[in-house]
Amino acid sequence: MKKSAIRTLCIVVSIVTIIILAVFALVFNQNIIIPSITSLVFIILLVIMYNNSENEINDNIKAIENSIETSVSELIKEGSIGLIVYNDDYEITWMSPFFRNRNINKTNEKILTWLPELQDILQGNEDRQVVSINNETFSVSKKDNSNFLLFKDISLETKLSKRIEEEAYVLGMINFDNYDEYRDNDDEVTFINSYIKVPVINYLKEHDIVYKSIRSNRMILILNEKNYKELEEDKFSIINLVRQEAKKADIGITLSIAFARGSQNLDELDGEVQSLMELAQTRGGDQVVSRVIGKEVSYFGGSSEAKEKRSRVKVRVIVNSIKNLINNSSNVIIVGHKEMDSDCVGSALGASDMVLSLDKPSYIVARSGGIESMISDVVFKYSHALNAKHKLISENEAMQLLNDDTLVIMVDHHDPNQSNGSELLKKAKKIVIIDHHRRKADLSINPLMLYVEAAASSTTELITEFIPYLPKKFDISEQEANIMYLGILIDTDRFRVRTNARTFDVLKTLRTYGADPSACDLLAEEPYANVLARTQIINAAKQYREDIVISSMSEGTYQRSIASQACDQLVKIKEIEAAFCVCLTANNEVIVTARSNGGVNVQTIMEKMHGGGHMTAAGLQRKDTTVNRVSNELINVLNELYKGESNESNIVE
Ligand SMILES: [Mn+2]
């Protein structure tokens, strides 16, 4: 019950009692004045006592409030807390001694003229804001509906926490890529030591980084966040320096650097730096890979194409482990990427031949997920020969065949989202990946073996290299050899890109199995509709800058392969370094294909939009969006990348 109600009740009860007593006295004519006065006094006393106890509580609260106000006003007076009073026009009318002590006087000025960042707090969007004035940091707060601001100096706390942050450990690792190739040549080792290792060591010393060589080609680095930030600001210039020096001497040495951050546990940083180095290596080296544990990986550099670094020994070791995995499986299912291309079909057939030579049941998922038009015509043409040997199935059929001992081999891709067996991969217990696309940071699956060689022309090249180590009964039919040859032909744009000595070795092998280059030329002939579509994309190309073109196809649908070929042709045009095509596919997906001559790293551009690929060939796909929206996003990424340089382009209308 409320206090006021109790009080009212008391008064009512006392009045009623007096009236009853008076009536009683009149009616019975008795002398009851003394008892009635006694009760009345008693009731009045009760009321007074009650009121007194209430007053006491109120007095206490008032006293506390007063003392708080006194201590706040005391703090304001002695200058520990700053107070600013302002009028309805947000003009400062009074500043407490706190500001005078700091030689700040802004009386009669508008708050926002002095500290524009305080707009949020004045509008009531924020309760507290941090501002810095003359190199000191203040926390500013405001009580609702009041017209004063409280300032607290938090410079010391800020400085301390910044210092703790700066002094956090970072563990790094440097790898001299391809060093093994030069180990046996004394002259080259001398060159590397004096022209490459010395500048690296000087660079480390210059930035106060502690280093220790752990092998002739590796160093461990110990540094803190402050050193690291300096390197990042310097854009890890040592990477470019090493590449240029090595190029002058025609030596294929580059640097890979990994940095693990964000933990004070050295064991954890050590584990992380090892796996980041592995990532840098499978992405082709010549780059910095850095990660704050638990966050996304950042990449820097990576401007030279992957160098050949798989030795014959490595190939033999890989084949033997794959053979073991196949021998220990009940059956093998081979999956490719969605919309299989020639390299994907060719490498799947080669992998299936490998499984058959080991007498294990083999299946290829090729009846779902799509096959690109050119190669699907070829598969149809050769269907008799192919079906006699291989079991081409759909993903649903594969799900029926899957058991705990099934080995799933992913060819020509390593991202389960791009797979024509993505559901299968979720359930598979044993997975092997064979691919030539630069590796993405996180795989989201845990393969038993990962053979990703960014330096190879094609997955077909990797699989054909297995042949010398496979059983004698291994065989490739003439039709298969043609498809595999086509795979390399197309992935290398007719042996013009990503083609090296190993590629020609493999072509020679395929030739001996009956691959016919002129027959393949005919197979690669394309329908008129494809030529037309490609020409449309080329015609639509607009210059983003002098050396970068974008074709944004807001109407019609296009095949991914056609878009890539159009970009391939665009970058062959003089002075054009990179080409992007944004278009819609028949599956209602918006795709971006990107090609480069090497001057622009399209992989990192696509990665900024959550796509991936190689430095010279990359892309992405998106559902539930429009070509214009993705084009604008691409332009924003380019604008961000070339910020500060002229020729910024505008958004597509
Ligand atoms: Mn491929």
For residue 510, the CA-to-ligand 1 centroid distance in Å is 17
Amino acid at 376: S
Question: What 8-state DSSP symbol labels residue 145?
Answer: T
Angle between helices 528-539 and 560-570 (to 10 degrees): 50
Confidence of residue 310 (pLDDT cuts 50, 70, 90): low
Amino acid at 19: I
Question: Is the CB of residue 254 less than 8 Å from the CB of residue 280?
Answer: no
Question: Is the CB of residue 547 less than 8 Å from the CB of residue 598?
Answer: no
Tell me what the mean pLDDT of segment 172-177 comes to: 93
Question: Is the CB of residue 175 less than 8 Å from the CB of residue 200?
Answer: no
For residue 102, the CA-to-ligand 1 centroid distance in Å is 67
For residue 638, the CA-to-ligand 1 centroid distance in Å is 27
Strand partners, 433: 410, 450
Q: In what order do the strands lie in the sheet with 169-177?
A: 210-215, 218-224, 169-177, 254-261, 287-292, 297-301
Confidence of residue 63 (pLDDT cuts 50, 70, 90): low
Q: For residues 536 and 581, what is the distance between their CA atoms, to the nearest angstrom?
A: 11
Longest pairwise C-alpha distance within the chain:
141
For residue 469, the CA-to-ligand 1 centroid distance in Å is 23
For residue 340, the CA-to-ligand 1 centroid distance in Å is 9
For residue 372, the CA-to-ligand 1 centroid distance in Å is 13
Question: Which tens digits make up the pLDDT trace of 362-416?
Answer: 999 999 988 988 899 999 999 999 999 999 999 999 999 999 999 999 999 999 9
Task: Specify the 3-state DSSP secondary structure of 641.
Answer: helix
For residue 623, the CA-to-ligand 1 centroid distance in Å is 23
Model pLDDT, residue 648 = 45
Question: Is the CB of residue 649 less than 8 Å from the CB of residue 643?
Answer: no
Supply 528's token pair.
């008129």
Tell me what the mean pLDDT of segment 64-76 comes to: 70
Tell me what the mean pLDDT of segment 503-513 comes to: 95
Task: Specify the 3-state DSSP secondary structure of 584.
Answer: strand
Model pLDDT, residue 302 = 61
- CA 244, distance to chain mean position in Å, is 29
Question: Which tens digits make up the pLDDT trace of 229-249?
Answer: 999 998 899 998 998 888 888
For residue 532, the CA-to-ligand 1 centroid distance in Å is 24
For residue 12, the CA-to-ligand 1 centroid distance in Å is 97
For residue 501, the CA-to-ligand 1 centroid distance in Å is 18
Q: For residues 514 and 597, what is the distance between their CA atoms, to the nearest angstrom?
A: 33
Model pLDDT, residue 19 = 73
Tell me what the mean pLDDT of segment 589-608 comes to: 92
Model pLDDT, residue 304 = 54
For residue 564, the CA-to-ligand 1 centroid distance in Å is 13
Model pLDDT, residue 123 = 85
Please tell me the least confidently modeled range out of 21-30, 208-217, 240-249, 507-516: 21-30
For residue 601, the CA-to-ligand 1 centroid distance in Å is 19
Model pLDDT, residue 54 = 59
Task: Specify the 3-state DSSP secondary structure of 591.
Answer: strand
**Position 14 pLDDT exceeds 70:** no
Tell me what the mean pLDDT of segment 115-143 comes to: 88
Tell me what the mean pLDDT of segment 309-331 comes to: 82
Supply 650's token pair.
């505008």
Q: For residues 557 and 559, what is the distance between their CA atoms, to the nearest angstrom?
A: 7
Locus of tokens 């002590």? 101
Report yes or no on whether pTM surpasses 0.85: no
What's the length of the chain?
Answer: 653
Model pLDDT, residue 438 = 77
For residue 475, the CA-to-ligand 1 centroid distance in Å is 22
Question: Which tens digits make up the pLDDT trace of 569-587?
Answer: 999 999 999 999 999 999 8
Sign of CA dihedral 140, 144, 145, 146: negative
**Position 64 pLDDT exceeds 70:** no
For residue 342, the CA-to-ligand 1 centroid distance in Å is 8
Angle between helices 312-327 and 342-357 (to 10 degrees): 60
Distances (CA, A) of 256 to 164, 273, 303, 435: 28, 12, 12, 21
Model pLDDT, residue 189 = 86
Question: Is the CB of residue 425 less than 8 Å from the CB of residue 418?
Answer: no
Element (H, E) at 354: helix 342-357
Model pLDDT, residue 651 = 45
Q: Is 90 left (phi over 0), alpha (psi -120 to 50) or beta?
A: left
Q: For residues 258 and 285, what is the distance between their CA atoms, to the nearest angstrom?
A: 10
Question: Which tens digits make up the pLDDT trace of 439-475?
Answer: 776 678 888 888 888 889 999 999 999 999 999 999 9
Confidence of residue 539 (pLDDT cuts 50, 70, 90): very high
Please tell me the least confidently modeled range out of 449-463, 485-499, 637-651: 637-651
Q: For residues 212 and 176, what is the distance between their CA atoms, to the nearest angstrom?
A: 14
Model pLDDT, residue 652 = 45
For residue 488, the CA-to-ligand 1 centroid distance in Å is 8
For residue 486, the CA-to-ligand 1 centroid distance in Å is 11
Confidence of residue 650 (pLDDT cuts 50, 70, 90): very low
Amino acid at 292: V
Locus of tokens 């990660």? 291
Strand partners, 533: none
**Position 87 pLDDT exceeds 80:** yes
For residue 491, the CA-to-ligand 1 centroid distance in Å is 6
Strand partners, 337: 419
Amino acid at 605: I
For residue 256, the CA-to-ligand 1 centroid distance in Å is 25
Amino acid at 433: I
Give me the DSSP letters along 127-185: SEEEEEETTEEEEEEE-TT-SEEEEEE-HHHHHHHHHHHHT-EEEEEEEEETGGGGTT-
Model pLDDT, residue 33 = 67
**Position 3 pLDDT exceeds 60:** no
Q: For residues 570 and 538, what is the distance between their CA atoms, to the nearest angstrom?
A: 7
For residue 413, the CA-to-ligand 1 centroid distance in Å is 8
Number of alpha helices (DSSP H) and beta strands (DSSP E) in the chain: 25, 23
For residue 336, the CA-to-ligand 1 centroid distance in Å is 10
Model pLDDT, residue 455 = 84
Q: In the chain, pLDDT over 70 holds for what percent of residues?
A: 87
Model pLDDT, residue 618 = 92
Element (H, E) at 59: helix 33-78
- CA 320, distance to chain mean position in Å, is 35
Instruction: State residue 113 phi and psi, 5-degree precision.
Output: -70, -35
Model pLDDT, residue 22 = 67
Supply 32's token pair.
């009851």
User: Mean pLDDT of all residues in the chain?
Assistant: 87
Model pLDDT, residue 653 = 38
Supply 609's token pair.
């939009």
**Position 504 pLDDT exceeds 70:** yes
Model pLDDT, residue 92 = 92
For residue 316, the CA-to-ligand 1 centroid distance in Å is 22
For residue 618, the CA-to-ligand 1 centroid distance in Å is 12
Instruction: Return the CA Rg of the chain.
Output: 39
Model pLDDT, residue 366 = 95
For residue 595, the CA-to-ligand 1 centroid distance in Å is 15
For residue 86, the CA-to-ligand 1 centroid distance in Å is 69
**Position 306 pLDDT exceeds 60:** no
For residue 496, the CA-to-ligand 1 centroid distance in Å is 15
Measured from the Cβ of residue 534, the count of other Cβ atoms closer than 10 Å reads 23
